[in-house]
Structure 1
């Protein structure tokens, strides 16, 4: 079950020619990921300030397919592909007007903000993530 969100591509997200500046894409992606966790009942403010859990990105592989332009409505879809002891693999697809602009595979790791060491996903967060886990097709060579 993919999480979906829409964000506008604004003037400040683009280079002088009006084409999306790729670091802006990543900044928007962080906000969408934050919204995903909030939709699960785990706002980052609570995770950070009260539970002292961080989720740094340890791997990010992005593939840019088509340019995005100022004024596009970016459609984000996040899929949970794998949940490890402390890691989480997400796949992102970003499109506009039905055309894929870019995709990304991301690994985040749950960490203690006190020790800066990885920690096992707390049971409540793991259960929410598992509810959204999409199994990879066994016939998929990329699995």
Structure 2
């Protein structure tokens, strides 16, 4: 399954040349991940309150392929690459129409309130594996 998230590039997302500032791609894919998880029925607030768990980015490997510009309409595609007991790896691509602009592999882990790594709950592993 590939999750789609659409966004528009605002002036605040760009640099002086009107090109999306590189760090903002990380914001774009973060928003898409939040919506992806929400659409899977995972309430991150409840997960924190009831289980004391939060998701944290462990690793990002990113390729900047072509610039996005002010007022572009972009699509962020998110797909699960792998799920293990304690780790979730996602592929996230940012496209303008069919042109791939940015591609990232993002590794997420679950953390307890004290900052230690924890196993992903079985229900989350199951829904992500589907």
Q: Could you say which TM-score interval applies, normalised by the shorter chain?
A: over 0.9
How many residues end up aligned between the 2 structures? Answer: 130
Question: Where in structure 1 are there 5+ consecutive unaligned residues?
Answer: 132-143
Q: Counterparts of 1:1-143 in structure 2 under 5 Å?
A: 1-113=1-113, 115-131=114-130
Which consecutive aligned stretches of 4+ in structure 1 deviate over 6 angstroms post-superposition?
none
Determine if contact 2:25/2:102 at 8 Å carries over to the other structure. no
Determine if contact 1:34/1:43 at 8 Å carries over to the other structure. no
Q: What does the per-residue CA deviation read over 1:44-91, in whole Å, with 9 as the maximum and x for residues that have no partner?
A: 222233332111111101100000001111111111011111100101
Cα RMSD (Å): 1.1
Q: TM-score, normalised by structure 1?
A: 0.86
Question: Where in structure 2 are there 5+ consecutive unaligned residues?
Answer: none
Q: TM-score, normalised by structure 2?
A: 0.94
